[in-house]
A = this chain, B = another copy of it.
Amino acid sequence: MSTDFTATRALFDLPEGVIYLDGNSLGPLPRAAAARVAQSVSEEWGKLLIAGWNAAGWMEMPTRIGNRIARLIGAEPNSVVLGDTLSIKVYQALASALDLAAPGRKVILSDSGNFPTDLYMAEGLIKSLGRGHVLRVVAPEEVAGALDDSVAVMMLTEVDYRTGRRHDMAELTAKARAAGAMTIWDLAHSAGAVPVDLSGAGADFAVGCTYKYLNGGPGAPAFIYVAPRLADRVRPALSGWLGHDAPFDFEPAYRPGRGIERMRVGTPPVLQMAALDAALDVWDGVDMADLRARSLALTDQFIADIEDCCPVLQLATPRDHARRGSQVSLRHPQGYAIMQALIAEGVVGDFRAPDILRFGFTPLYTSSEDVAMAAAVLTDVMRQELWDRPEYQVRARVT
């Protein structure tokens, strides 16, 4: 293994006394990010002012940083651009895919493991379009069988946010293509979590966020991938001025920019981009195969420990390595209270309704010792019923 995970862990500012297993929701602070953001605020915004757009390279950040992410998801150079939120990027991808889909096909095929916002955005787009499109949501294992000649677009999240179940991207993409459907992959729980090969799989579109496994910070921008063979054919529904071929000519009519540039919309969030840029430095020496091996070792270890000690917690994550993301999810009717008790004991995971305890394993900063300790604390919480206190039953809004 060529990647030094002790070294990557040292690049994060991890709070004392906490085992953080929620990096699949919000990654922790990379040490370099604080200085990089401060520089962006005080030296760039403060001193360069408007000149920062050119002199500090703000205008190019969405494509430059897009290329840094491309390496992590098997995307071709200049096929990824940053901006907006994942919801907006889903809308862009879906509107474009429907536009390119074979005429007459009306079905957007997704599964019940998709993140709700992807489905909500599809719903909103379908209503706006008013052309009789239909969102068909099947069980994850039924997707392949549902790929018939009515399907315009197959839109899936590769790794299920609740269970950590991972689709076979290569196989499903090939089947979708054979069935004549366009493909959109949501990589929210894949980018930085598992090796992804968009180019090899022949995906048409992909989207993802950067505040989970990529550690870009709260509200970090999203990304969108468009296969190079399609990029110049895509007609953006969100045709904003920074996706124009010549934004500063202020022409009255929209002309899409070259390739992926047309998926830009408005002014990029420079401070968030600066944080993300620093966060991506951590990835420079990381081999994705090493990351995957370590992720599987960590999740295997946690699964074994928990099954040993707490058979009452039902494993929701596939045992099969090929079908697992980089998280472990456990079901229990008192899942919410158990997670509150765990957090109080210094082990931070999260809860997803109705009954899922979710733990993200992030090799960049999670060690085997962390896993052993987390399992031990969870064992304690279960054996001593530490979760059975009134204050752990009160639900606060969590992310």
**A95 neighbours in B (Cβ, 8 Å):** 128
Least Cβ–Cβ distance between A259 and chain B, in angstroms: 18
Closest to A396 in B: B54
Alpha-carbon gap, A127 to B84, bound state (A): 21
A105-133 interface code vs B (CB 8 A; 1 in, 0 out) = 00000001001110111011101111100
Residues on B with beta carbons closer than 8 Å to the beta carbon of A119: 252-254
- A52 to B398: give the CA distance in the assembly, Å: 10
C-alpha spacing A212/B235, complex, angstroms = 30
Residue of B218, B244, B397 near A271 (CB, 8 A) is B218
Chain A 243-280 against B: per-residue CB contact (8 Å), 1 yes, 0 no?
A: 01000111111100000000001111111110100000
A253 engages B49 (CB within 8 Å): no
CA separation between A275 and B41, bound complex, in Å? 9
> Given A13-B46, A128-B129, A218-B267, A239 and B54 touching (CB < 8 A)?
no
B50–A88 CB distance below 8 A: no
Q: How many residues of A contact B (CB 8 A)?
A: 92
Asked if A310 lies at the interface with its beta carbon under 8 angstroms from chain B, I say no
A29 / chain B contacts, CB cutoff of 8 Å: 41-42, 45-46
Q: Mark A124-152, 1 if CB is under 8 A from B, else 0.
A: 11011111000001000000000000000
Chain multiplicity (copies) = 2
Select which of B22, B49, B219, B266 is within 8 A of A15 by beta carbon. Answer: B49
Q: Would you call A186 an interface residue if the criterion is a C-beta within 8 Å of the partner chain's C-beta atoms?
A: no
Who on chain B is nearest to A25 by CB? Answer: B50
Q: Is A73 in contact with chain B by the CB < 8 A criterion?
A: no
Q: Does A304 contact B (CB under 8 A)?
A: no
**Chain B residue at minimum C-beta to C-beta distance from A399:** B53
- Residue from the set A137, A219, A242 with the largest chain B CB neighbour count within 10 Å: A219
Which residue of the partner chain B has the closest CB to A218? B270
Residue of B nearest to A255 (CB): B120
When C-beta atoms are compared, the residue in chain B nearest to A235 turns out to be: B127
Q: With A87-B265, A88-B266 known to touch, is A50 a contact of B272 (CB < 8 Å)?
A: no
Whether, in the assembled complex, A240 has its beta carbon less than 8 Å from a beta carbon of chain B, the answer is yes
Asked if A213 lies at the interface with its beta carbon under 8 angstroms from chain B, I say no
Give the CA-CA distance A84 to B251 in the complex, in Å: 23
A383 within 8 A of B: no
A37 to B236 Cα, complex, angstroms? 33
Contact yes or no, A266 B28, CB < 8 A: no
Task: Find out whether the CB atom of A271 lies under 8 angstroms from the CB atom of B87.
Answer: no
5 smallest CB-CB distances across A and B, nearest first, come from A85-B266, A124-B239, A87-B240, A117-B241, A219-B269
Shortest A349–chain B CB gap in Å is 9
Q: Does A5 contact B (CB under 8 A)?
A: no
Whether the Cβ atoms of B25 and A353 lie closer than 8 Å is: no
Minimum CB–CB distance from A363 to chain B (whole Å) comes to 18
Residue of B nearest to A26 (CB): B50
Question: How distant is the Cα of A186 from the Cα of B123 in the complex, in angstroms?
Answer: 27
Q: Which residues in B have their C-beta under 8 angstroms from that of A249? A: 353
Chain A residues 341-389 with CB under 8 Å of chain B are 348, 350, 352-353
A205 contacts chain B at the CB level, 8 A cutoff? no
Pair B50/A219 contact, Cβ less than 8 Å: no
A302 at the interface (CB under 8 A from B): no
Question: How far apart are the CA atoms of A251 and B117 in the complex, in Å?
Answer: 9
Q: Judge whether A49 and B26 touch: CB under 8 Å.
A: yes
The distance from the CB of A139 to the nearest CB of chain B, in whole angstroms, is 13
* A352 & B240 in contact (Cβ 8 Å cutoff): no
> With A and B bound together, what is the CA distance between A86 and B240 in angstroms?
9
A265 touches B88 (CB 8 A): yes
Once bound together, how far apart are the Cα atoms of A42 and B25, in whole Å?
18
